[in-house]
Amino acid sequence: NAGVTQTPKFRILKIGQSMTLQCTQDMNHNYMYWYRQDPGMGLKLIYYSVGAGITDKGEVPNGYNVSRSTTEDFPLRLELAAPSQTSVYFCASSYRGGQGAGGANVLTFGAGSRLTVL
Amino acid sequence: GDSVTQMEGPVTLSEEAFLTINCTYTATGYPSLFWYVQYPGEGLQLLLKATKADDKGSNKGFEATYRKETTSFHLEKGSVQVSDSAVYFCALSPGTGRRALTFGSGTRLQVQP
């Protein structure tokens, strides 16, 4: 049972380069999210999706793009990398159900992708 | 908007000591409250949750009670172990609308043998 899989685990980019962080889940979850984690700052929501074809901005969307063509995949695109985007990125997913053990409020996280922009 | 405030860390305790990590929140309506734990090099995992006032969430010896009157959800454990060393995040989900969680800044716990 893979859960949420993120690739790559580590990446170093030069300023201005572009890249895509991949995220796949095999739990048939409707909701998917991208967060970034900066030291001492907790997690900030970048983008989220409530289903295939539907995405919306979170707190810190500038400099990022997402797409959701399938239920399983939710890639995060950085078009022009900047040092301010150096962070650890977490993808997460949740079920559309209610407030029970498998409900929409219970997130399953990937292991994270550490990105450094130099 | 919604927000979560946690006590700053790191919190350093000896094994078998009592643990409290404070968490307070600001939200409209009736949010659900969560504690997530992040072990070194891993993603976050749900530790416990509470969905309404006066609910107590518990797991692995950790407990937290949803106190609406004080807007708090403090995490407690009676006797910590070295294996509890991790970063603990308090989070809330709004009662309606968007399901994404709002996280606190995290509290690092270090337990010494």
Closest CA to B22 of B93, B88, B100: B88
What's the gap in Å between the CA of A43 and the closest CA on chain B? 6
What's the gap in Å between the CA of B18 and the closest CA on chain A? 24
pLDDT of residue A102: 45
Q: A61-88: buried (b, 16+ CB within 10 Å) or exposed (e) per residue? A: beebebbbeebbebbbebeebeeebbbb
CB contact under 8 A, A110 and B43: yes
Spell out the per-residue pLDDT of chain A, length 118, in tens: 679 999 999 999 999 999 999 999 999 998 999 999 987 778 899 999 989 999 999 999 999 999 999 999 999 999 899 999 999 999 999 886 544 444 557 889 999 999 999 9
Q: Considering only CB atoms, which residues of chain A are within 8 Å of chain B?
A: 4, 31, 33, 35, 40-43, 45, 48, 50, 56, 58, 90, 92, 94, 99, 104-107, 109-112
Q: Which residue has the tokens 């997913």?
A: A93
CB contact under 8 A, B100 and A33: yes
Return the bridge partners of B32, or none.
Answer: B93
**CA A88/CA B13 separation, integer angstroms:** 27
Closest CA to A32 of A48, A55, A16: A48
CB contact under 8 A, A43 and B89: yes
Alpha carbon separation from A96 to A111, B30, B55 (Å, rounded): 22, 19, 22
Closest CA to B23 of B10, B7, B34, B9: B7
How far from each other are the two terminal CA atoms of chain A, in whole angstroms? 36
pLDDT of residue A39: 79
Spell out the per-residue pLDDT of chain B, length 113, in tens: 889 999 888 999 999 999 999 999 998 878 889 999 999 888 899 999 998 899 999 999 999 999 999 999 999 999 999 999 999 999 998 866 666 788 999 999 999 99
**CA A58/CA A75 separation, integer angstroms:** 15
